[in-house]
Amino acid sequence: MAVPLIETKHLKKYFKTPAGLLHAVDDVSFQINPGETLGVVGESGCGKSTLGRTVLRLLEATGGEVLYQGENILRYSKRDMKKVHLNMQMIFQDPFTSLNPRLSISSIIAEPIKVCGTLKDKGAIQEKVHELMEVCGLPERYVNTYPHELDGGRRQRVGLARALAVDPKFIVCDEPVSALDVSIQAQILNLLMDLQDSKGLSYMFITHDLCVVRHISANIMVMYMGKVVEYAPKDELFRHQAHPYTKALLSAIPTTDLSRRRERHALTGEVANPINPAPGCRFAPRCPYADERCKQPQELKQVAPGHYAACIMCQ
């Protein structure tokens, strides 16, 4: 059986606050195979971005494991992690603040090559920079420009080129198109998919846009307040939602098809406190189907082949 490229086991990331521990990521397990994309969706504050940063060890995990090709990288030293980061990179949400305004575009793309020492010769580095710019759709005339001189779409292409500079196998895409116009979003998404096909890349694609995640992902993981509430192949998830929260998310997708009436799943109630949360279902205060059983811990269980949900009502 093939070993997943990326796997997490019961991964946790808690933050200390004056009121107690904030459970940003709580007992999250998933797998990403080579050449696949896992879409991670959920409303703002559910822990998506924290999960991505914890997987890359930009944030240190509170507990659990992060396996890269079967090896737990949470045990690695800083020197060992520097080698791992050659294969694991990140594209950030804001294409402006993630770029150094004091550096030219060519310097930004060349920086990870120099820091990681993958190339030493200046000529070879510049040749690599020009190659990356061409691959990412950046004309050569932008080589000496600065981030403030580019629009959002081109800045995000610079961020993608920077991530590709060390030839990674896995990239965390943290809402890379949320700040872009719809037409530019499509260009960046298609570029990511073309690069995946040509280079065999694996992605963790973090977003709150279900239309986007359906377009790019093989599997989709739904998070709510640090917990995974549903996990399924994308076609299965859009065909059959098991968890009430997933149903509410999908029912909120805008549609132009006025001939077909859709069932709406409006959410009411108060969001539970993520600091020292109770052991039961965290969605229960907003769930129309909640009962006494929801006060018990909910575990992901299979409801269909490859489809898992953490809800007592659908198991």
Could you give the 3-state DSSP secondary structure of residue 282?
Answer: coil
217-220, long-range: CB < 8 A, 24+ apart: 217/37, 217/38, 217/39, 218/36, 218/37, 218/38, 219/36, 219/37, 219/38, 219/39, 220/38, 220/39, 220/40, 220/41
| Interval 179-190: pLDDT, tens | 777 888 888 888
Model confidence band, residue 219 (pLDDT cutoffs 50, 70, 90):
very high
Beta-bridged to residue 71, according to DSSP, are 68
Model confidence band, residue 258 (pLDDT cutoffs 50, 70, 90):
low
CB 224 within 8 A of CB 42: yes
Model confidence band, residue 255 (pLDDT cutoffs 50, 70, 90):
low
Model confidence band, residue 263 (pLDDT cutoffs 50, 70, 90):
low
pLDDT for the residue numbered 91 = 92
Distance from C-alpha of 199 to C-alpha of 175, rounded to nearest angstrom: 21
Mean pLDDT of 126-130: 94
Q: Count CA within 13 A, CB hemisphere, residue 65.
A: 11
Query: How far from the centroid of its chain's Cα atoms is residue 16's Cα?
Result: 24
| Interval 300-310: pLDDT, tens | 999 999 999 99
| Interval 74-124: pLDDT, tens | 999 998 998 999 999 999 888 788 899 999 999 999 999 998 888 888 999
* Per-residue pLDDT at 256 exceeds 80: no
In the chain, pLDDT over 90 holds for what percent of residues? 60
- The whole-model pTM stands at 0.91
Greater model confidence, 219 or 292: 219
* Per-residue pLDDT at 267 exceeds 80: no
| Interval 29-73: pLDDT, tens | 999 999 999 999 998 889 999 999 999 999 999 999 999 999 999
